């Protein structure tokens, strides 16, 4: 760790405090100030030492406690006041965490900073479900995609490129856009029967999940009132969930009868 007047952009992981990295924990122990997001769990905040100043800057859809520009300015001012600052973010700071924007602002002002990566929601939550993001014969790659659109607008994505049966898709912050995601992927040729899942508060004690098909998931989720954050996963790899369910994740009965993809069945023999 560096000396004073440094900002650590730290990934807190998807929620489970046991997924916090050792380097992240060291940064928390050295911090004078912790600037944290809405998605940082209370269990992780409990690891912050006594006497450390905590500043909440959480953002939810259409409800920003502090605008991003003001967060950027706050980090600069705190560091210039000779504080060791931990900017604590859910998941990984450089994967839909706007950490790079904060790093740009720090760099422009000559403020020393360090990025401490975290377990991103895609890998942490899929692992908790027993779902590999790639698997021989089922998925040759994975794409992390923003599912968040501006209020009143539709997602502007390259749907043709995304509608690849051999790619696992992970949509961050995509609950409100799920109907559009389903419709556009199917229109571009992805099978309506492609397994799809919505996972709420993944890796935490409040985790809930709905596993269905790409065509049916929007209707299924609509009746469940899943609390945010919700991660969406689309791809054949979800057919492995029941076989690789290592921690007895409970699936909604109505959505659990997915057929195991042929490539998986043959490779398991």
Do 212 and 179 fall into the same domain?
A: yes
Q: Is residue 158 part of a domain?
A: yes
Q: How many domains does the chain have?
A: 2
Say yes or no: 144 and 260 in one domain.
Answer: yes
Comparing C-alpha atoms, which of 138, 157, 150, 158 is closest to residue 243?
138
**The pLDDT value given to residue 62:** 53
Segment 120-141, tens digit of pLDDT:
999 999 999 999 999 999 999 9
pLDDT interval class at 63 (50, 70, 90) = low
- Positive or negative CA dihedral for 12, 237, 211, 219? positive
**Do 128 and 109 share a structural domain?**
no
225 pLDDT tier (thresholds 50, 70, 90) = confident
Query: Is residue 2 included in any domain, yes or no?
Result: no
Which CATH number goes with the domain that contains 159? 3.30.950.10
CA atoms of 258 and 238, how far apart (whole Å): 9
**Mean pLDDT to the nearest integer, 11-17:** 96
- 238 in any annotated domain: yes
Q: Which residues contact 196 (CB under 8 A, 6 or more apart)?
A: 182, 211, 212, 213, 214, 217, 232, 233, 234, 235, 238
pLDDT in tens, 227-252: 989 999 999 999 888 888 887 765 54
Are 19 and 59 within one domain? yes
99-108 helix and 68-80 helix, angle to the nearest 10 degrees = 50
Residue 216 has pLDDT above 90, yes or no: yes
Q: Could you tell me the two tokens for 268?
A: 């398991």
For the entire predicted model, the pTM comes to 0.88
Contact 234, 196 (CB under 8 A): yes
Instruction: Answer yes or no: is 1 within a domain.
Output: no
Task: Return d(Cα 215, Cα 236) in angstroms, integer.
Answer: 14
Sign of CA dihedral 179, 231, 66, 98: negative
264 or 174: which leads in pLDDT:
174
109, 30: one domain: yes
Residue 40 to residues 15, 16, 176: CA-CA distances in angstroms?
Answer: 7, 10, 21
Other C-beta atoms lying within 10 Å of the C-beta of residue 162: 18
Instruction: Please identify every residue annotated as catalytic.
Output: 37, 59
Half-sphere exposure in the Cβ direction for 236 (13 Å, CA): 21
- For the ranges 95-99, 236-240, 256-260, the lowest mean pLDDT is seen at 256-260
Q: Are residues 198 and 217 in the same domain?
A: yes
Residues 142 and 251 in one domain: yes
Look at residue 63 and tell me if it is in a domain: yes
Residues 206 and 230 in one domain: yes
- What pLDDT, on the 0 to 100 scale, is given for residue 190? 97
Cβ neighbours of residue 79 closer than 8 Å, sequence gap 6 or more: 5, 6, 7, 85, 106, 111, 112
Q: What is the pLDDT of residues 171-206, one digit of tens each?
A: 999 999 999 999 999 999 999 999 999 999 999 999
Same domain as 112, residue 176: no
Weakest mean pLDDT among 123-132, 144-153, 251-260: 251-260
Average pLDDT, the chain: 88
pLDDT at 148: 87
Q: Which of 72, 94, 116 is the last residue of a domain?
A: 116
- What's the confidence (pLDDT) of residue 253? 41
Same domain membership, residue 205 and residue 74:
no
* Alpha carbon separation from 182 to 11, 46, 170, 213, 215 (Å, rounded): 30, 39, 13, 9, 6
pLDDT of residue 60 exceeding 80: no
Expressed as residue numbers, the domain containing 109 is 7-116
Both 89 and 176 in one domain: the answer is: no
d(CA 192, CA 109): 50
Same domain, 182 and 97: no
Q: Which residue has the higher pLDDT, 167 or 63?
A: 167
pLDDT of residue 58: 85
Q: What is the CATH number of the domain that holds 59?
A: 3.40.1010.10
Neighbours of 194 (CB within 10 A): 22
Give the residue from 85, 116, 147 where a domain finishes: 116
Q: 65, 89, 116: which is the final residue of a domain?
A: 116
157 domain-assigned: yes
Residue 209 lies in a domain: yes
């Amino acid at each position: 760790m560096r000396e004073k007047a440094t900002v650590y952009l730290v990934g807190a992981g998807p929620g489970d405090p046991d997924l916090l990295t050792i380097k992240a924990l060291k940064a928390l122990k050295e911090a004078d100030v912790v600037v944290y997001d809405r998605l940082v769990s209370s269990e992780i905040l409990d690891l912050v030492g006594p006497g450390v100043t905590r500043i909440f800057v959480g953002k939810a859809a259409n409800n920003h406690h502090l605008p991003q520009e003001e967060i950027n300015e706050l980090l600069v001012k705190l560091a210039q006041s000779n504080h060791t600052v931990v900017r604590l973010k859910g998941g990984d700071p450089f994967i839909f965490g706007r950490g790079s924007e904060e790093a740009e602002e720090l760099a422009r002002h000559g403020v020393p900073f360090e990025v401490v990566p975290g377990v991103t929601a895609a890998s942490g939550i899929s692992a908790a479900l027993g779902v590999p993001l790639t698997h021989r014969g089922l998925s040759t790659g994975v794409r992390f995609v923003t599912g968040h659109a501006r209020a009143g607008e539709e997602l502007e994505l390259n749907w043709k490129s995304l509608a690849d049966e051999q790619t696992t898709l992970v949509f961050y912050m995509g609950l409100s856009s799920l109907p559009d995601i389903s419709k556009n992927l199917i229109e571009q040729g992805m099978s309506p029967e492609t397994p799809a899942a919505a996972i709420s508060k993944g890796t935490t004690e409040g985790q809930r999940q709905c596993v269905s098909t790409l065509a049916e998931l929007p209707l299924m989720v609509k009746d469940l009132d899943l609390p945010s954050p919700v991660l969406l996963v689309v791809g054949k790899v979800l057919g492995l969930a029941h076989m690789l369910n290592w921690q007895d994740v409970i699936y909604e009965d109505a959505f659990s009868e997915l057929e195991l993809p042929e490539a998986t069945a043959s490779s398991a023999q």
